[in-house]
Structure 1
Amino acid sequence: MKTLLIVYHTQSGNTEKLAGAAYRGACEADEVETRLVRAYDASLQDLLTCQALLIGSPENFGYMSGGIKDFFDRTFYPAQDYRLNLPYALLISCGNDGTGAVRQIDRIMTGYPMRKVAEPVICPGEVRPEYLEQCEELGLTLAMGLAMGIF
C-alpha cells in the first residue's frame, strides 16, 4: 500500500485545521495509507517510507514556519543519498498572500529533489469553510493520484 505523508506545523491552530481537512480528504482513498504528523515529530524515516508528501505551514514573516524549517534541517542532507523525487503539494495559512512561504519551500524541495504536482492552497486570515473544502480536495487529489499511479 502506498503512503501519503502530511507534515504540518501550527501555533495558532489554523494550519492544524487545514491539515486535518487534507487528511480527511486523503482518507477517502482506501488504497492509500495517509499519515498526519506534526513537523517536530516527522523524521527521515517518514520520508523514506512515503510515496507522496503534503506540507502544511503557516507563513511567518514572509517565510515558512520554524517547525517546517526544522523538519527540513533534520532531513535534507540525510535524504540526499536517496534522491527521493517524491510528488508534493503545499497548504499555507497566512496573514498576507502566502507567496513567501511557497517560494522558500519550493526552493528547498528542488534540492531533495521532489516535484510539485499541484498548485498550493493558500488560506489568508481565519480558517473559512471554503479553505477547508480546498484542503480536503487537495488531500483527496494527492491520494487518488498516488493510488492511480499518476504521481
Structure 2
Amino acid sequence: MTLKRLLIVAHAPSANTLAMRDAVQRGASGPDIENVAVQAIAPLAARPDDVLAANAIILGTPENLGTMSGALKDFFDRIYYPCLERTQGLPYALYIRAGHDGTGTRRAVQTIVTGLRWRAVREPLVCRGGWQDAFLGECEELGAVMAASLDAGLI
C-alpha cells in the first residue's frame, strides 16, 4: 500500500507552542497508524511542493494581535497560487493557541482555506486562555484522529 502523507505546518515560537506541535505529531505517529508518513515543517520553511505532496494538512498557529502568526500568513502567501487549482478538497484541520478567544485567528485562516477550497475535517481546536497541560492531550488527539482518518481512507 502507498503511504499517505500528513503535513503539519505549525508556527511554534515558544516552548508551549512547540510542545503543542510535538503533541500533534506524536498523536499522528501513533503505533496504530500504519500507512501515513507524518512531516512537520515550520511555516517559513514549507514550500508549495510540500503541500502538493500532502494528502491532508494540519495547520497550527498562535494568536498574534488577534490573527494568525505572520509566519503562517507568509506560508499562505507563498503557496496560495501554486496550490490553488491543484489542492482543492485537501482535508485540513486547524489548531490555535489563543491567549484571548481566537476568533480573529480562526476567521483569518478560514478565509484563506475557503479560497483554496480546502475541506475542514473538524472544527478548529482553539486552546484559549492561560496555559493548561490539557492542551497537549487535545493536540495529540487531533493528530491521532487526522492520521487515523487518513489511514482508514475516511478523508
Interval containing the TM-score (normalised by the shorter chain): over 0.9
CA drift at 1:31: 1.7
Contact 1:5 1:54 in 2 (8 A): yes
CA drift at 1:15: 2.0
User: What percentage of residue pairs aligned between the two structures are identical?
Assistant: 42
Q: Deviations over 1:113-143 (max 9, x none)?
A: 2010112111124442211000000000000
Code of the aligned partner of 1:98: G
TM-score (normalizing by structure 2): 0.92
How many residues of Structure 1 are paired with residues of Structure 2 in the alignment? 151
Tell me, in whole angstroms, the C-alpha distance in 2 between the residues paired with 1:45 and 1:58: 24
Listed as ranges, the gaps of 5+ residues in structure 1 are none
Greater displacement, 24-33 / 81-90 = 81-90
Task: Map residues 44-83 of structure 1 onto 2, 5 A cutoff.
Answer: 44-83=48-87
Tell me, in whole angstroms, the C-alpha distance in 2 between the residues paired with 1:10 and 1:133: 17
Greater displacement, 76-85 / 112-121 = 76-85
Instruction: Give the superposed CA RMSD.
Output: 1.2
Secondary structure, aligned partner of 2:85: helix
Greater displacement, 112-121 / 49-58 = 112-121
CA drift at 1:20: 0.7
Match of 1:92 in 2: 96
Contact 2:17 2:62 in 1 (8 A): yes
